[in-house]
Amino acid sequence: MDATTRNYLVVTAGYWAFTVTDGAIRMLVVLYFHLLGYSPFEVAMLFLFYEFFGVVTNLVGGWLGARVGLNLTMQIGMAMQVIALGMLTVPDAWLSVAYVMTAQALSGIAKDLNKMSAKASVKTLAGDGGEFKLFRWVAVLTGSKNALKGAGFFVGASLLQGLGFRGALLVLAGMLLFVLVATVFLLPSGVGKMKAKPKFTQVFSQVPAINWLAAARFFLFGSRDVWFVVGLPVYLYSVLGWGFTEVGGFLALWVIGYGLVQASAPKLLRRSHHGAGPGGGAARLLALFLALIPAAMALALQQGLGASALLMVGLAVFGVVFAINSAVHSYLILAYSDADKVSLNVGFYYMANAGGRLTGTVLSGWAYQTHGLVGCLWWSAGFVLLAALLSIKLPTAQGSSSAADG
């Protein structure tokens, strides 16, 4: 195994370990604080700082990674997550909304430092292997991450059931601390570090295609979180009467399946693109099709069709299309970026991603509390439609940033 592949595998493994804790802590917070009597909107507000500081972190993190190296920013993210997990182990009397929001802010910074670092590293590590190799590597990294985030949902719900809230947090913190120490010894220093120190103003992209892609990403991820973060798990628990493990297990299976489809996206799209990476046209068509799914689900629920079967089938179809669309987006941001500016562009792009998640999370609690799951689904459909319209400006053919300018 050559050094490049080895480093890619170490980065991927570190990303995997972090992702399990990220999925677990989200499920722990949603279920435990709902059990404590928090309203859906209050639960959503617990994630407000998590998502808000994700926006800030992606903006600053890409610049920081270009200056100090992507492996260091990834390890800083892991250390911050260990601290965030530890903060939530205090007695219930200390778990005020402000305190939990602060812990979640730290976790949000950690998550986006880790994600930005891992994904930007792929562009550097893939080297000159061609566009399809880049598409394959980023799809595997992203897809496997999402599969493990789903596993994290199940791990979080199961640990909550078996060890309680604080026991679960301590197990997760110990596991991540071990992985952090391992990456310090296994990864070389300076991955992704620019030779010339970039100015902070360079975090804002000058490439039109990247700006349009970032705008589309905002609404794409807002469309998922507007019903998935708060509305769906609370609906399954309070309306359909599912238990913690059932809710966590179902959402885990969905995200695992979503991740597997995302990792398989290069194979699914290879024939249509003749071995090259996909272009903006693929992102546009997939978004148009995706918008129909939550709209159809909302109409079906309004007509009184069986909610359990409808949600299972609708989630499965939504997950497949969303996963392929997300994989295309994750590839395009790297394809549109020059290698020496990749961390800056990826940071800017995932700033938009985090902004969409922030908006979707807040809307998820508000829309569910005021209009139920049907309202969440209509918001989702509208967001995806906006993502499709913004994708019209994306270049039809894939290419580098220089091509994207034209």
137-190, pLDDT tens digit by residue?
666 766 677 677 777 888 888 888 888 888 989 999 999 999 888 888 877 665
Q: Which residues of 101-117 are buried (b: 16+ CB within 10 A; e: fewer)?
A: bebbbbbbbbbbbbbbb
Q: Considering the domain boundaries, does residue 195 fall inside one?
A: no
Domain that holds residue 253: 3-186+207-405
- Per-residue confidence (pLDDT) for residue 405, from 0 to 100: 34
Total domains in the fold of the chain: 1
- Distances, alpha carbon 382 to alpha carbons 70, 233, 376, in Å: 36, 21, 10
> What is the per-residue pLDDT across 83-94, written as a single tens digit (0 to 9) for each?
999 998 888 888
| Alpha carbon distance 92, 96 (integer Å) | 8
- For residue 178, the model assigns a pLDDT of 92
pTM over 0.75: no
Give dist(CA 403, CA 199) in Å, integer.
24
The CATH number covering residue 297 comes to 1.20.1250.20
pLDDT, tens digit, 9 for 90 and up, residues 1-27:
566 667 777 777 888 888 888 888 888
Q: What is the distance between the alpha carbons of residues 69 and 90, in angstroms, rounded to a whole number?
A: 34
Considering only CA atoms, give the Rg of the chain.
20
Q: What confidence score (pLDDT) does residue 299 get? A: 92
Residue 193 lies in a domain: no
Q: What is the pLDDT of residues 121-131, one digit of tens each?
A: 666 665 555 55
Flag whether 356 is in a domain: yes
Cβ count near 254 (within 10 Å)? 20
Look at residue 198 and tell me if it is in a domain: no
Residue 382 belongs to a domain: yes
Residue 296, in any domain of the structure = yes
* Position 341 confidence tier, pLDDT thresholds 50, 70, 90: low
| Residue at 100 is within a domain | yes
User: 279, 265, 373: which is closest to 323 by C-alpha?
Assistant: 265
User: Between the CA of residue 170 and those of 86, 145, 164, 372, what are the distances in Å?
Assistant: 7, 22, 10, 35
How confident is residue 294, by pLDDT bands cut at 50, 70 and 90? very high
Residue 355 lies in a domain: yes
